[in-house]
Structure 1
Amino acid sequence: MSPRERSPRGSDTERDRPSILGDLSLGAQLSLRGGREVVLRTVLTAIGVGVATAALLLAASLPTILDNLAQRHADRMDYQVAPYPEPPAGDDTLLVGLADTQYDGRDIHGRVVRAEGSDPPLPPGLAEIPGHGEIVLSPALADLLGDPEAKALLQGFDHHTVVGEIGPEGLMGPGELAFYLGSADLSLENAGIRVTEYGGEPRAVLEGTVILLIGVVGVVVMLTPVVVFLGAAVRFGGEQRDRRLAALRLMGADRRATRRIAAGETLPGVALGLALGTGIFFLGRPIVESVSVSSGLFTADVTPQPLLALLVLVGVPMLSLWVVLGSMKGVVVDPLGTVRRAERPSPRLWWRLLLLVLGVVLIVLSMDFEISRRLGLTGAAWLPLVSIGLLAVLFGTTAALPWLVERVFGRASSGPLSLQLALRRLGAAGGGPTRAVSGIIVTVAGAIALQSLFANAWAESTVVRAETRTQAYAEDEFGGSGFQIQADLMMPPPDNDPVAAVSEVPGVEEAVAFSTVWGVADSGADVVVHVADCAALRQMADLPECSPGDAFSGVPGLAAGDTVTVRPKDERAESAWTVPRLTEFEGPLVEHPWNAWGHTARDVVLATPEAAVLPGEIATRSSVWIRVDPSVPGMEDELRFAVVALDPTSHVGFPMLSATYSAMINMRDALIAGALASLAVIAAGLVVGTVEQVRGRRRVHAVLTAFGTRRSTLVASVLWQTTLPVLLGVALAATVGTALGLLVQRVAGIPLAFTPIDTLVIVGAGVGVAFLTTLLAIPALLRTMRPEGLRSE
């Protein structure tokens, strides 16, 4: 073919390019100049896309958040990276003692420090090492100490001089409670460590397969409703758009042109939504510093990862166009009007079930480590598979809902008039009503699976410090019974009486002080030496007559004059102790907290201070046994900080407390925040979607009202129209969510458990959100029943 013969075709192609741009431009102009209704649709689309974009940008910030948290945690590592054996003291060494504690259930990161030279390593966030009696506080702890209600906390810190605040680089978040206290009394012998530098290798904040799995499930569950909401947002005003396209067909536009015009009509709303969402995200970032979830986040932490941010800004318009063009497949736009296919094909079930099966298979493959090894999936390579599997199951659940609605409600023809109107609307609207509640279905199914997984992991991560919470010890000369707790002091001040200090705390019924050292006898037997006065020793064992200078032992072969090599528990120093005159006893030892290691009379020496003349270089561990009344309000915090005032490195063990891994606590707080955000997005989408559907049928409502239909009947029909798919969808979501939770527990190796109460709460929340948002749409419904709705142009 000659160039002359090909040129006309080339000219047609060149003429087609301006027509494509012209159609897109015409659609964009219609969305901005097509009247109040069209502009309102564009605004609603922009709001929906903006909310979805902001949520997706927040999700795109998750890698940066985790990296920053891991880096700050690594930068302030001290005892985790302390060299062993300890280097000699020098100008570049710093002694560090652990002083972590709690207040009102919140963890406090505490350190006691002493510079051994002129150039010690500085902890992150500090300008200089505090001197003796000086303290540097985090901003959150400083604010809390200024609260007049925090009297117990103030008791532990009011005798120190505040010399500064910890900078952001030394904190996990703006809400973290932390302090660095200078003390000249700190030494290696009283549980200090010597460091020459700070910092270690960053590690993942969410460690362990179960923690990672919960994180993946949580992110998928929180983001899937956002994607569903985005798909619903770009469909706002679909019926009015189709009528406008019919008018354009009458003016000569072909079917291809109408599709391009529809795409162009969507673009301004999407573009405005991207700008709005980006603005909401960046303007809302400072809010994270005021959110009281764990230690919180700094504003700089919430920065989208560049590649993910680009994916959001490109993916949102592409997804929007795909949804709009896909929604027109079931619509015939002719010059004489818009026809929605009256006889829609019945929803096919096979591909919907295929999604569910595919998701289950991927989850099993990703979590079965033997199969993963054979497939070459090492490390965290299972994360993409389990994410895709979860998405397939959740979207398969929503995809199965139209089929269920068709089967359950498609042939119903009886009942009150309001129910029949709702059923007719459900049958005529296709997937519209089900799309409106898809966000609820996804969230309910995912939340049930997530909650069941998290509840079991939480139970697995909780360690009870005492086998029984109500261990009351028998009647003795002190009389009464109560909870037994113990306070361990590594560096108590010599001029303070710990018994007198703790006895002033309301709720303390009795206190007994004693000291402990560990040693090895000449025979090789381990020996525990408890030193206390006679009254305290009688609380430890059933002893014969006791007076100052006495010592008691049941250790076989141990006699006066023998040598015991004694040392503190940290084994940093040791020396010989000559055993004094001993009185044998056979016990039994009373079940006290100090006897948590299960000692018997055969490995314990009980000595009065006059008998236990220990070498001066040996640092004993001082302890106070305390009997308390746990019913006294605030007793725990007041007692804890009364001991902290004596020794900031002390530890008070409450039998009624349980210890939970901090990663699980942080995960719980993050999931609660994410669930609230998802519910807010879903509620906004439902309100806008329901109002848009009501406005789209205003002429029908006006006609029905003019012919005598009661308003209450129309209101009830709208409630039925929303409630029926929600009830059916929630039942489906509860079934799938429960099965999914059990499946994930099974493949993750967590004991299977079902939590019906929590499931009912989640289901009730989903139904409640749908019902509430429908009620919010009733004012718009009542306005459509006015006679003005009969007017037509």
Structure 2
Amino acid sequence: MSAPSVTQWYRDLLMGARFAFTGGREGWVRAVLTAVGVGLGVAMLLLTAAIPNVLATRDDREDARDDIGLNYHEENVGRKASDKTVVVANTDTNYHDKAVRGRLMEAEGPRAPRPPGVAKLPAPGEMVVSPALQELLTSDEGKLLKERLPYRVIGTIGEPGLIGSQELAYIAGADGLAARIDGTLVGRIDHFGAGTTDQSDGEELDPVLMLLILVVLVVLLMPVAVFVAAAVRFGGERRDRRLAALRLVGADGRMTRRIAAGEALAGAILGLVFGTVFFLIGREIAGSIELFDISVFPSYLNPSPVLAGVIAAAVPASAVLVTLFALRGVVIEPLGVVRAAKPARRRLWWRLLLPLAGVGLLYPMMGQGSEGGRFNEYMVVGGVVLLLFGVTALLPWAVEAFVARLGAGSVSWQLAVRRLQLSSGTAARMVNGIAVAVAGAIALQMLFAASDAQYTEPTGQNVKRAQMQVSVPPGTDVTPMAKKLQESKGVRKAVAISVGWVGDRAREPEVSSEVAVGDCASLREIAKLPSCHEGDVFVNQFVEYDRDQFKLGKSGRTIFFEPSYDGSPRSAEIKWTLPGEVKKAYEHKDSLRQYTSGLLATPSALPAGAAKTLQGSVYLRIDKSVPHVSDEVRNTAAEADRLSWVSVWTATERTEEFGAIRVGLFVGASCVLLLIGASLLISQLEQLRERKKLLSALVAFGTRRRTLTLSVLWQTAIPIALGLVLATTVGLVLGTVLLKMTDIPVTVDWARVLGMTGIGAGVVLLVTALSLPPLLRLMRPEGLRTE
């Protein structure tokens, strides 16, 4: 038999598309269900295709509004005032654990630059705010923050000045900032926009982190692909019975398959339209929500044209290929479809080849770790895809093999088992997506949990001795701040310590060391003192970090505060002659500060002007039972000094890149979870629709609705249980292989593994519960009516 020509293909595909839209109510329902299922997947794929633009746009917005920042910019210190300069102070803060970007600005002339999104710089006592912050300040929830920002709101910051729709940000007018320029938190600028290149821009990402990114992308996209493939097969049994009628009028087997592919193609193209609409709706909704402190503007979500084109071509092509593949074992004859008989047993051997091939691709990279260079991206993606795809191949065999051995039970059980025995493939397809998602989630959880220690470092902060720290700008007396904080609500104790540097010479010192200044009670928080009175100076005997203090800390020696170095502006160079007795201080095993070395001094022992060279901090012990105690502290600190900054102590912290990948995973997983739920619900409704006449007939013959409802629940529970068992197995295998690749000891947190499995089961149970009302409506005698 000769191969069909392009014209024949075109004619048959067009006929199938016509059947999809002109087959009456039945055809339309099936086409719409297919389109909705495919559309949800397409919307998710378009969202993924928009991620590069989201990241690039956020970076561009951040660069465009860059000002003094937190990095030292020498030009921002030495720049002279003019009619086109503005002094900017960084006043970032936090409220209820959410970041608030804050800036104080003082224009020095009519041509002073304006930050993006701001039409006019606010005058002293005024501020412009982001829309999200304005909404918060006008609500009861923002009461404490409103006290911290005693400015009159005169406008909002436009989209060009924000990196997300839910970002909390304000710009307030101020005066007197020029006197406090230090180049770190306060500086003078003549334009907004990144002026220096981040040194980290050229650094390559750690190989293990790159592996995490690749696996995250595959794990998040695989369920989407599985759902799209399942959606194009909605209504397959009824479609095949319609195709049998075509055999009666002369169509051959190949022609019927091409017509079936045309039906699927029509549904997929309609799905592209639905997906585009869903994406546009979702894009607008995305502008009003925030996930894990990440928000975007709708304009950010513009898919790459190339990726969008790939999606537009790949989805219809996949629909045709999936349909032809599904019909490979179906014999459509003029008198019916052979599928109605007992299907041939599925073979296991080729299904095992998929995960084995996946392991084979990943095996050469085992033991590579971070030191072995970058992992081969193609082998990683291919190996993970094959392992996860193995779940979809093994699950139909597992369901068939399991239900074939099931026997006697209640009526509902027997109805469910018989249905599964006749159509195990349909049942498996419904849970394939959730099984793939759970398998990938378990593998990722193992990889993240094991890698966490590698990318988590101790901060050195003794959270038992202090829980918060308030720092004041250099040269500011910290004592008034400490007194105010001691009276703040929820503060048990405030310890004030200032730190500076001393050297043996005023210029280019050969020996230098730190000096910590505080009253006797404060110094005893960081070192053991034999005795202490105002005017005393100590040299610390703890030499693990520093030995230079022994050369400097000699009785009667002259040293210099804030010595100068070549290539840097001339500093204070204040002379300090040590007293006749320099006492010894000893290591404090439970010190408030991690690194306590050098000299210790009480305030009256310092020479005139030395206090201006010190950086002061107040260490706080707080009562965490007091509601919003951290915000109470921030309010007190802001009232005492608008340029102070507050930090909450933690024992450990994750690297920024690792934390960003975790956040990306959580955001993506949340979107995929919504897709899974919606797609499962559509799939369940389609299954019930196909069985409408059978359910109505059983009710007409006296079967109780309760029995039929339980049978539907059993039909869902059995495949999902098998799917979760298989997913757990494959997930553990994939997780173990990934850990071997990263050269990290294999550990399994069974509580989290069971948690991932439980989430998958919970989604299916929720979807099943939502499908019960339609099920009850389908059990009416009217369901027997036919057109």
TM-score of the aligned structures, taking structure 2 as reference length: 0.85
Q: 1: distance between equivalents of 2:88 and 2:209?
A: 31
**3-state SS, counterpart of residue 297 of structure 1:** coil
Q: CA deviation at 1:657?
A: 6.3
Tell whether the 8 Å contact from 1:79 to 1:193 is kept in structure 2 after alignment.
no
Name which of 621, 636, 640 aligns with 1:642.
636
CA 1:700–1:445: 2 relative to 1, 3 Å: same
Q: 1: distance between equivalents of 2:347 and 2:494?
A: 75
Name which of 531, 542, 557 aligns with 2:529.
542
Tell whether the 8 Å contact from 1:515 to 1:623 is kept in structure 2 after alignment.
yes
**3-state SS, counterpart of residue 471 of structure 2:** strand
What are the Cα deviations for residues 407-449 of structure 1, in whole angstroms up to 9, with x where unaligned?
A: 3332333444433333332222141111111011111101111
Q: Give the aligned partner of residue 614 of structure 2.
A: 620
The gaps in structure 2 that reach 5 residues or longer are: 541-548
Aligned: 1:412 with 2:406: yes
What are the Cα deviations for residues 729-773 of structure 1, in whole angstroms up to 9, with x where unaligned?
A: 101101211221232233234454322222212211222222333
Q: 1: distance between equivalents of 2:46 and 2:92?
A: 36
**3-state SS, counterpart of residue 584 of structure 2:** coil
Q: Give the aligned partner of residue 64 of structure 1.
A: 53
Name which of 537, 559, 567 aligns with 2:562.
567
Amino acid in the other structure paired with 1:390? V
Segment drifting more, 703-712 vs 636-645 = 703-712
CA 1:372–1:497: 2 relative to 1, 3 Å: closer
Q: Give the aligned partner of residue 167 of structure 2.
A: 176
TM-score of the aligned structures, taking structure 1 as reference length: 0.84
Q: CA deviation at 1:790?
A: 5.4
Q: 1: distance between equivalents of 2:504 and 2:443?
A: 57
Q: CA deviation at 1:671?
A: 2.9
Q: Give the aligned partner of residue 544 of structure 2.
A: none
Q: CA deviation at 1:59?
A: 1.4
Q: CA deviation at 1:390?
A: 1.6
Q: CA deviation at 1:303?
A: 0.6
Tell whether the 8 Å contact from 1:529 to 1:607 is kept in structure 2 after alignment.
no
Aligned: 1:318 with 2:317: yes
Q: 1: distance between equivalents of 2:343 and 2:370?
A: 43
Q: CA deviation at 1:532?
A: 4.2
Q: Give the aligned partner of residue 632 of structure 1.
A: 626
Name which of 283, 286, 289 aligns with 1:285.
283
Q: 2: distance between equivalents of 1:495 and 1:438?
A: 62
Aligned: 1:754 with 2:753: no
Aligned: 1:47 with 2:36: yes
CA 1:743–1:194: 2 relative to 1, 3 Å: farther
CA 1:243–1:514: 2 relative to 1, 3 Å: closer
Segment drifting more, 753-762 vs 673-682 = 673-682
Q: Give the aligned partner of residue 345 of structure 2.
A: 346
Q: 1: distance between equivalents of 2:492 and 2:648?
A: 15
**3-state SS, counterpart of residue 433 of structure 1:** helix
Tell whether the 8 Å contact from 1:95 to 1:186 is kept in structure 2 after alignment.
no
Q: CA deviation at 1:454?
A: 2.8
Q: CA deviation at 1:243?
A: 1.8
Q: 2: distance between equivalents of 1:431 and 1:285?
A: 35
Aligned: 1:188 with 2:196: no
Tell whether the 8 Å contact from 2:223 to 2:437 is kept in structure 1 after alignment.
yes
The gaps in structure 1 that reach 5 residues or longer are: 1-8, 472-482
Q: CA deviation at 1:607?
A: 2.9
Amino acid in the other structure paired with 1:336? L
Q: CA deviation at 1:311?
A: 0.9
Q: CA deviation at 1:465?
A: 3.6
**3-state SS, counterpart of residue 490 of structure 1:** coil
Q: Give the aligned partner of residue 679 of structure 1.
A: 673
What are the Cα deviations for residues 66-88 of structure 1, in whole angstroms up to 9, with x where unaligned?
A: 22233334444555886568784
Q: Give the aligned partner of residue 438 of structure 2.
A: 444
Tell whether the 8 Å contact from 1:137 to 1:162 is kept in structure 2 after alignment.
yes
What are the Cα deviations for residues 387-418 of structure 1, in whole angstroms up to 9, with x where unaligned?
A: 22221111112211122223333233344443
Q: CA deviation at 1:489?
A: 0.9
CA 1:711–1:204: 2 relative to 1, 3 Å: farther
Name which of 733, 737, 746 aligns with 1:743.
737
**3-state SS, counterpart of residue 290 of structure 1:** coil
How many residue pairs align between the two structures? 760
CA 1:538–1:441: 2 relative to 1, 3 Å: closer
Tell whether the 8 Å contact from 1:125 to 1:170 is kept in structure 2 after alignment.
yes
Q: Give the aligned partner of residue 93 of structure 2.
A: 101
Aligned: 1:89 with 2:72: no
Q: 2: distance between equivalents of 1:435 and 1:613?
A: 80
Q: CA deviation at 1:25?
A: 3.9
What are the Cα deviations for residues 272-322 of structure 1, in whole angstroms up to 9, with x where unaligned?
A: 221121112123212112121224111111111111101111111111112
Q: CA deviation at 1:647?
A: 3.4
What are the Cα deviations for residues 131-153 of structure 1, in whole angstroms up to 9, with x where unaligned?
A: 76665543333433334433443
Tell whether the 8 Å contact from 1:484 to 1:592 is kept in structure 2 after alignment.
no
**3-state SS, counterpart of residue 497 of structure 1:** helix
Amino acid in the other structure paired with 2:79? A
Q: 1: distance between equivalents of 2:462 and 2:499?
A: 25
**3-state SS, counterpart of residue 149 of structure 1:** helix
Segment drifting more, 46-55 vs 307-316 = 46-55
CA 1:151–1:707: 2 relative to 1, 3 Å: closer
Q: Give the aligned partner of residue 298 of structure 2.
A: 299
Amino acid in the other structure paired with 1:608? P
Amino acid in the other structure paired with 1:176? E
Aligned: 1:144 with 2:136: yes
Q: Percentage identity across aligned positions?
A: 37
Q: CA deviation at 1:589?
A: 6.4
Q: 2: distance between equivalents of 1:118 and 1:749?
A: 61
Q: CA deviation at 1:124?
A: 4.4
Segment drifting more, 70-79 vs 16-25 = 16-25
Q: 2: distance between equivalents of 1:239 and 1:153?
A: 61
Tell whether the 8 Å contact from 1:552 to 1:584 is kept in structure 2 after alignment.
yes
CA 1:285–1:786: 2 relative to 1, 3 Å: closer
CA 1:539–1:754: 2 relative to 1, 3 Å: closer
Q: CA deviation at 1:236?
A: 1.5
- 1:258-657 matches, cutoff 5 A: 258-293=256-291, 294-340=293-339, 342=341, 344-365=343-364, 382-466=376-460, 468-471=462-465, 483=466, 485-490=468-473, 497-521=480-504, 526-533=512-519, 542=529, 544=531, 546-547=533-534, 551=537, 556=550, 558=553, 561-567=556-562, 573-579=571-577, 581-588=579-586, 595-599=593-597, 603-609=598-604, 611-615=605-609, 618-655=612-649
**3-state SS, counterpart of residue 487 of structure 1:** strand
CA 1:408–1:752: 2 relative to 1, 3 Å: same
Amino acid in the other structure paired with 2:559? V
Amino acid in the other structure paired with 1:410? A
CA 1:517–1:730: 2 relative to 1, 3 Å: same
Q: 1: distance between equivalents of 2:211 and 2:587?
A: 46
The CA RMSD over aligned residues, in Å, is 3.9
Q: 2: distance between equivalents of 1:484 and 1:36?
A: 67
